[in-house]
Amino acid sequence: MLFTAPFWLLSLLLPAQPAQVTPAAPKIVWSADRPLSWADFRARPNTDRLAALTSSTIDATIGCLDFHFSGKVQATFAPSESWVRNAAQAAPTLLRHEQLHFDLTEVHARLLRQKLSLIKFDCLHLQPAFNNITKVAFLAWQRDEARYDQETNHGLNAPKQAEWEQKTRLRLEQLTAFAE
């Protein structure tokens, strides 16, 4: 047996309005070299008033091997759950707004990687400790995402959108040590 303690998979999902799901497309792992395009948004729009919806996720896989903790955290984008109402007519600013949702997911994935690197996990009690850390991480991410949409009016407030873009770039740079 590879793992001496149970191996868990926890996926934190950004709360979103349910979209009509199209056939599953592979998740896209966040990369500075791979920005999103409208072709990545493959779900059918729901009846929501939004022009687009990004479904991003923090996947965290943890376990113990010979009582040594190991973990992997990735920010991913789910094409089959993300949608744009009309890609042909969508402004480039809308795509930048949606990209920043994915970038914020990466910021919080890096923050989680940072926390995991600082804690000495007891492999016998791994699940409760990890659940507590991820619960706090999820709530911080959820608050950040809600504040982003509120302050930018879903990207329609250009000065606030620019402010968030600059702030998020800075946060990603500050957390470079915790990039994957």
Identify the burial level of 114 via C-beta atoms within 10 angstroms of its C-beta, where 0-12 means exposed, 13-18 middle and 19 or more buried.
middle
Report pLDDT for 25: 84
Cα distance between residue 35 and residue 58, in whole Å: 17
Report pLDDT for 69: 81
Report pLDDT for 65: 80
Report pLDDT for 167: 98
CA 105 to chain centre: 3
Specify whether the backbone of 90 is left (phi greater than 0), alpha (psi in -120 to 50) or beta: beta
pLDDT in tens, the chain (180 residues): 122 222 222 333 333 444 454 457 899 999 999 999 999 999 999 867 899 999 999 999 888 888 788 889 999 999 999 999 999 999 999 999 999 999 999 999 999 999 998 888 778 777 888 888 999 999 999 999 999 999 999 999 999 999 999 999 999 999 999 998
The 8-class DSSP code of residue 115 comes to H
Query: What does the domain layout of the chain look like in residue ranges?
Result: 8-178
Report pLDDT for 15: 38
* Nearest Cα residue to 54 out of 13, 102, 103, 20: 102
Report pLDDT for 16: 41
Report pLDDT for 88: 94
Contacts of 28 by beta carbon, 8 Å cutoff, 6+ apart? 34, 36, 40, 76, 77, 79
Rounded to 5 degrees, φ, ψ at 91 are -75, 150
User: How many alpha carbons fall within 13 Å on the CB side of residue 16?
Assistant: 24
Report pLDDT for 23: 57
